[in-house]
């Protein structure tokens, strides 16, 4: 390899500013404006790379995003696992290492490229700063933005904002375009909404398949020319140009003018417009000839050329520049559903003019490319040495094997060979592969086109996509209750419930979760516990028709609920499946507050609004989310009444005066509170609904008042155990969207006499009435110490049958119950209620654990404890 700088060329180069960088640990000299690839070529290196699978020596092949061989890892001044050497511009302190097409992430943290995200709105966005793109921008009116992936745009239009080193990574609906700008220290990710998008992305040259076409020294003719024009690098002293079109011939002329000895090998029988010009300039042009092999060890030393009469000659060469034709770079528009048609004269696929009206494709991208002789594969020689996809080491023979296996569609061949599943996304291989398949099947050229292309146009680091939206706060919002600081101070271990952080348990000393949960459960059952239930969803429902509305949303009747009372309710989807549950409190004739599950609040609110706005527009009802306007301190246990009394309240807590499922608007600890007698544990409970401003104060008052009883804060895990002991379902744990109230043993809550409600009709569909539906039951392992895993499958017999085994159901909840001194589980089991008392077997690994089906209410089935 004898690449060198030449004088008088290199319009991107600043020869006044030398830059030194490290390549594979040694210093290489270049200039500002160079890429790693151009600097390597200038220093006489064309090889130095290896293919990822066959480990064949490879060299720089292209000058842009289509590079399939020369990849580097960037280790300084930032980290990037892999990037084409053609797309890495020299900066001070740059350190790169060659990579065989596969990037590797180091174990520790890295200095990844971050991008700030920004939004732009323009009348016209032009993608591509070549001649046609600049002309389109100049003629456009209003705000005009011109972007180009290369670092230099010559003569930028004065009326446009021009962004260089900026890649349009995807074009989406209605002129929405993402652009990634890598320019200096801070990357930018532009979210652009454009009234008109002009695609002026040019065309990519494609190679030809012949024996040894992957040898270091073989490169695209356009690349050889680009290195000369942009960087002043003459890639070789003796250059053979295998060109099927006049652009390749033009490149040959430019290389000759720069001092190289050039021979053109043209497969066409007819002289083209450039033939005589080149010959007049003293360049040898061989018509009706083909390169049949490259020679070298491993770098190129010569090429074997077959003439029309079959005679072979060898041309000494250190570079073979190949131009098999031109593929319009239309990838960005393919995702918009545009069509391609085959152009015979140009031997390529061009935009058929379809697509959204806001998109215009111009210039070479629109098919304004040189006419080309339709050659794809040179017949001579072994197909196993003719490379189609350099980055996957796939040859003509590999494509033939896929076709012989019955694959006829280029998409299928892609998936069988992995051609095109590469960093360069098959830019050099895609059309070539499709045409080889067409040829193998005896189809005409263009019978089928290349595989589809999808965003991003070129690889984008995830760190740039994430931008500044990373870290614990910005990744996803975190919701905390007003009592969170107290939980933190008392060593709470949290669980995520939706976006909420809820205390799962409060370990004391060296306690593990089981010990802490057992202690917390014991406190609630024998004395008193307190739970922060602020995360419950709450919806304020007002209006003269609120009662009628809720009757239609819940399975039971809410319109006859007396003011001051509370009723539990189930909500179904129109399909009759349980959607959410909660209670409704009637504040006034025209005013309810409904609670929802913590995770279901937004969904219920959406559902309420949907029905009100789209079906029952005659109902005068307004819904307001008040989840964060009410904090809830739930005091539960045999001593609950004394604790609330001691905290200080003007409500009469006597059971007769304040019965179960009622509420009182009163004061607690000197602040306004809505006290609700609701119980999710089966114990006497008071939920204190207070303003978030007062939540910590009320919590503190409750803790102080409960001190003589050893009041114990408990978390969601104990809550789950306590409710499971009572057989209370959790929507989303006992349900997965396929359970009716009947399945859950909750037919009692379905009021079929009150008129229509959402889901009612579905409850009598034939499938809902089947007697083999899965029903909620209890499951007790025969070994009381065995706690089944949630999700465990249940079968009828102790011996696991051959697959497919008939599964009777699965465990939905499973805990060790402190109150019962043993394990308990809830499960959904086929015809489960009929099986109560009967044996069932849980599949645990390769064995089964004997269990018995039980009633799902394990503790205090008579409900004697809820009134204290």
Partner 1 sequence: MLLITCPWCGARDEVEFRYGGQAHLAYPDDPESLSDAEWAEFLFMRDNPKGEWAERWMHAAGCRRWFNAIRDTATHRMVVTYRMGERPPA
Q: Name which position in 155, 183, 276, 610 contacts partner 1 (CB under 8 A).
A: 610
> Closest CB to partner 1 among 172 and 443?
172
Return d(Cα 255, Cα 243) in angstroms, integer.
14
Closest separation in Å from C-beta 849 to partner 1 = 39
> Closest CB to partner 1 among 155 and 756?
756
> Closest CB to partner 1 among 707 and 756?
756
Could you tell me if residue 24 is left (phi over 0), alpha (psi between -120 and 50 degrees) or otherwise beta? left
Angle between helices 410-417 and 430-440 (to 10 degrees): 110
Does 356 help bind partner 1 (rule: CB under 8 A)? yes
> Closest CB to partner 1 among 300 and 577?
577
Q: Name which position in 589, 606, 783, 839 contacts partner 1 (CB under 8 A).
A: 606
SS3 812: strand
Does 574 help bind partner 1 (rule: CB under 8 A)? yes
Q: Which two tokens stand for residue 733?
A: 């744990």
Q: How far is CA 76 from CA 21, 91, 185, 702, in A?
A: 10, 10, 12, 58
SS3 365: helix
Binding mask 118-157 for partner 1 (x = CB under 8 A): ----------------------------------------
Closest separation in Å from C-beta 62 to partner 1 = 32
Return d(Cα 481, Cα 59) in angstroms, integer.
60
Does 77 help bind partner 1 (rule: CB under 8 A)? no
Q: How far is CA 170 from CA 166, 178, 339, 456, 458, in A?
A: 12, 6, 17, 5, 9
> Closest CB to partner 1 among 171 and 218?
171
**DSSP codes, 823-846:** EEEEEEEETGGGGTTSEEEEEETT
> Closest CB to partner 1 among 609 and 628?
609
> Closest CB to partner 1 among 612 and 851?
612
Return d(Cα 796, Cα 806) in angstroms, integer.
8
> Closest CB to partner 1 among 283 and 577?
577
* Bridge partners for 351 per DSSP: 340
Does 622 help bind partner 1 (rule: CB under 8 A)? no
Closest separation in Å from C-beta 620 to partner 1 = 16
Q: Which listed range, 21-29, 88-96, 612-620, 647-655, lies at the site for partner 1 (CB under 8 A)?
A: 612-620
Angle at 65 between CA 401 and CA 156, to 5 degrees: 150
Pairing of strands 71-76, 839-844: unpaired
> Closest CB to partner 1 among 311 and 614?
614
Binding mask 57-76 for partner 1 (x = CB under 8 A): --------------------
Count of residues binding partner 1 (CB under 8 A)? Answer: 23
Identify the H or E element spanning 306.
Answer: strand 300-306
> Closest CB to partner 1 among 409 and 752?
752
Q: Name which position in 52, 175, 363, 529 contacts partner 1 (CB under 8 A).
A: 175
Q: Which two tokens stand for residue 588?
A: 């006034």
| Total H helices, total E strands in the chain | 18, 49
Does 575 help bind partner 1 (rule: CB under 8 A)? yes
Residue in 244, 239, 208 with CA at minimum distance from that of residue 225: 239
Pairing of strands 671-676, 166-172: unpaired
> Closest CB to partner 1 among 174 and 276?
174
- The one-character DSSP state at 100 is S
Closest separation in Å from C-beta 176 to partner 1 = 5
Does 193 help bind partner 1 (rule: CB under 8 A)? yes
Closest separation in Å from C-beta 581 to partner 1 = 22
Does 477 help bind partner 1 (rule: CB under 8 A)? no
Closest separation in Å from C-beta 175 to partner 1 = 7
Return d(Cα 553, Cα 545) in angstroms, integer.
13
Return d(Cα 370, Cα 390) in angstroms, integer.
25
Q: Which listed range, 457-465, 641-649, 687-695, 758-766, lies at the site for partner 1 (CB under 8 A)?
A: 758-766
- Residues, the chain, total? 868
Closest separation in Å from C-beta 603 to partner 1 = 11
Question: Helix, strand, coil proportions of the chain in percent (round to 5)?
Answer: 25, 35, 45
Q: Which listed range, 104-112, 131-139, 169-177, 266-274, lies at the site for partner 1 (CB under 8 A)?
A: 169-177
Return d(Cα 83, Cα 90) in angstroms, integer.
13
Q: Which listed range, 170-178, 259-267, 393-401, 814-822, lies at the site for partner 1 (CB under 8 A)?
A: 170-178
Does 311 help bind partner 1 (rule: CB under 8 A)? no
Q: Name which position in 765, 770, 797, 838 contacts partner 1 (CB under 8 A).
A: 765
Does 607 help bind partner 1 (rule: CB under 8 A)? no
> Closest CB to partner 1 among 605 and 788?
605
Q: Name which position in 54, 76, 172, 488 contacts partner 1 (CB under 8 A).
A: 172
Identify the H or E element spanning 193.
Answer: strand 187-199
> Closest CB to partner 1 among 443 and 622?
622
> Closest CB to partner 1 among 183 and 615?
615
Q: Name which position in 615, 665, 783, 855 contacts partner 1 (CB under 8 A).
A: 615
Return d(Cα 571, Cα 554) in angstroms, integer.
5
Closest separation in Å from C-beta 615 to partner 1 = 5
Q: Which listed range, 202-210, 542-550, 613-621, 741-749, lies at the site for partner 1 (CB under 8 A)?
A: 613-621
Pairing of strands 566-572, 578-588: antiparallel
Three-class SS of 613-678: HHCCCCCCCEEEECHHHCEEEEEECCCHHHHHHHHCECCCCCCCCCCCCEEEEEEECCEEEEEECC
Q: Name which position in 489, 562, 613, 799 contacts partner 1 (CB under 8 A).
A: 613
Q: Name which position in 14, 155, 174, 183 contacts partner 1 (CB under 8 A).
A: 174
Does 614 help bind partner 1 (rule: CB under 8 A)? yes
Q: Name which position in 766, 799, 846, 862 contacts partner 1 (CB under 8 A).
A: 766
Does 762 help bind partner 1 (rule: CB under 8 A)? yes
Does 443 help bind partner 1 (rule: CB under 8 A)? no
Closest separation in Å from C-beta 182 to partner 1 = 23
- The one-character DSSP state at 298 is S
Q: Which listed range, 89-97, 102-110, 506-514, 608-616, lies at the site for partner 1 (CB under 8 A)?
A: 608-616
SS3 722: helix
Q: Which two tokens stand for residue 761?
A: 């009709």
Does 542 help bind partner 1 (rule: CB under 8 A)? no
SS3 81: strand
Q: How far is CA 485 from CA 20, 329, 477, 624, in A?
A: 54, 57, 17, 27
Q: Name which position in 183, 736, 756, 839 contacts partner 1 (CB under 8 A).
A: 756
Q: Which listed range, 172-180, 250-258, 522-530, 628-636, lies at the site for partner 1 (CB under 8 A)?
A: 172-180
Closest separation in Å from C-beta 608 to partner 1 = 11
Q: How far is CA 23 from CA 81, 98, 239, 693, in A?
A: 15, 7, 26, 62
Q: Which residue has the tokens 């909420």?
A: 500
Cβ atoms of 317 and 236 within 8 Å: the answer is yes
SS3 152: coil
Burial of 693 (0-12, 13-18, 19+ CB in 10 A): exposed
Contact set with partner 1 (CB under 8 A): 172-176, 193, 337, 356, 574-575, 606, 609-610, 613-615, 617, 756, 760-762, 765-766
């Amino acid at each position: 390899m004898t690449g060198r700088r030449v004088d008088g060329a290199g319009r991107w180069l600043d020869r006044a500013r030398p830059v030194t960088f490290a390549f594979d640990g040694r210093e290489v000299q270049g200039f500002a404006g160079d890429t790693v690839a151009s600097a390597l070529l200038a220093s006489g290196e064309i090889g130095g790379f290896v293919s990822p699978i066959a480990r064949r020596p490879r060299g720089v092949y292209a000058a842009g995003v289509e590079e399939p061989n020369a990849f580097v890892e960037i280790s300084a001044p930032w980290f990037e696992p892999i990037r084409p050497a053609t797309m890495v511009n020299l900066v001070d302190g740059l350190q790169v290492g060659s990579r065989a097409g596969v990037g590797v992430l180091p174990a520790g943290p890295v200095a990844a490229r971050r991008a700030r995200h920004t939004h732009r709105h323009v009348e016209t966005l032009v993608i591509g700063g070549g001649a046609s793109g600049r002309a389109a921008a100049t003629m456009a009116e209003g705000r005009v933005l011109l972007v180009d992936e290369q670092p230099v745009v010559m003569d930028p239009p004065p009326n446009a904002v021009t962004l260089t080193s900026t890649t349009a990574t995807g074009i989406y609906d209605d002129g929405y375009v993402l652009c990634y700008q890598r320019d200096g220290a801070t990357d930018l990710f532009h979210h652009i909404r454009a009234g008109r998008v002009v695609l002026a992305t040019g065309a990519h040259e494609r190679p030809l398949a012949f024996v040894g076409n992957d040898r270091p020294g073989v490169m695209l003719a356009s690349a050889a020319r680009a290195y000369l024009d942009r960087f002043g690098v003459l890639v070789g002293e003796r250059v053979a140009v295998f060109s099927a079109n006049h652009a390749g011939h033009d490149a040959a002329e430019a290389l000759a003018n720069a001092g190289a000895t050039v021979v053109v090998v043209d497969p066409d029988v007819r002289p083209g417009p450039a033939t005589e010009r080149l010959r007049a300039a003293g360049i040898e042009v061989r018509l009706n000839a083909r390169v049949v092999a490259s020679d070298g060890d491993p770098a190129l030393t010569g090429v074997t050329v077959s003439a029309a009469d079959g005679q072979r000659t060898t041309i000494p060469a250190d570079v073979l520049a190949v131009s098999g034709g031109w593929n319009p770079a239309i990838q960005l528009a393919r995702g918009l559903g545009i069509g391609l048609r085959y152009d015979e004269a140009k031997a390529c696929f061009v935009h058929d003019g379809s697509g959204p009206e806001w998109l215009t494709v111009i210039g070479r991208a629109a098919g304004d490319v040189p006419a080309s002789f339709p050659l794809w594969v040179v017949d001579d020689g072994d197909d196993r040495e003719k490379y189609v996809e350099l980055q996957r080491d796939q040859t003509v023979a590999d494509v033939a094997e896929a076709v012989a296996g019955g694959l006829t569609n280029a998409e299928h061949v892609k998936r069988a060979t992995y051609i095109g599943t590469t960093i360069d996304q098959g830019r050099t291989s895609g059309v070539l592969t499709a045409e080889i398949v067409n040829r193998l099947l005896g189809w005409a050229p263009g019978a089928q086109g290349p595989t589809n292309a999808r965003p991003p146009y070129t690889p984008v680091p995830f760190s740039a996509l994430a931008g500044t939206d990373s870290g614990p706060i910005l990744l996803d919002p975190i919701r905390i209750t007003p009592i969170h600081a107290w939980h933190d101070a008392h060593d709470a271990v949290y669980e995520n419930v939706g976006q909420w952080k809820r205390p799962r348990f409060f370990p004391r000393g060296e306690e593990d979760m089981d010990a802490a949960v057992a202690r917390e459960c014991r406190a609630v059952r024998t004395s008193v516990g307190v739970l922060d239930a602020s995360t419950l969803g709450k919806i304020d429902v007002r209006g003269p028709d609120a009662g009628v509305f809720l009757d239609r949303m819940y399975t039971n009747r809410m319109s006859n609920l007396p003011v001051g009372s509370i009723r539990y309710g189930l909500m179904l989807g129109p399909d009759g499946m349980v959607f959410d549950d909660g209670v409704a409190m009637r504040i006034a004739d025209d005013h309810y507050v409904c609670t929802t599950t913590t995770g279901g609040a937004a969904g219920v609110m959406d559902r309420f609004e949907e029905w009100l706005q789209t079906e029952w527009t005659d109902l005068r009802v307004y819904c307001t989310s008040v989840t964060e306007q009410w904090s809830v301190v739930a005091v539960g246990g045999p001593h609950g009444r004394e604790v609330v009394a001691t905290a200080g309240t003007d409500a009469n807590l006597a059971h007769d005066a304040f019965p179960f499922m009622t509420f009182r608007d009163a004061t607690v600890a000197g602040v306004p509170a809505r006290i609700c007698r609701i119980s999710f544990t089966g114990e006497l409970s008071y939920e204190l609904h207070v303003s978030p401003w007062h939540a910590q104060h009320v919590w503190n008052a409750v803790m102080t008042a409960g001190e003589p009883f050893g009041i114990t804060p408990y978390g969601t895990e104990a809550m789950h155990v306590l409710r499971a002991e009572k057989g209370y379902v959790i929507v989303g744990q006992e349900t997965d969207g396929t359970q009716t109230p009947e399945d859950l043993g909750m037919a009692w809550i379905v009021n079929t006499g009150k008129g229509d409600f959402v889901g009612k009709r579905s409850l009598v569909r034939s499938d809902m009435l089947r007697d083999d539906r899965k029903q909620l039951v209890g499951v007790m392992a025969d070994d009381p110490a065995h706690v089944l895993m949630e999700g465990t499958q249940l079968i009828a017999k102790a011996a696991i049958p051959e697959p497919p085994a008939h599964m009777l159901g699965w465990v939905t909840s499973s805990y060790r119950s402190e109150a019962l001194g043993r394990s308990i589980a809830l499960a959904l089991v086929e015809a489960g209620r009929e099986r109560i008392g009967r044996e069932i077997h849980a599949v645990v690994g390769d064995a089964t654990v004997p269990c018995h089906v039980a009633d799902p209410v394990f503790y205090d089935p008579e409900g004697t404890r809820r009134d204290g």
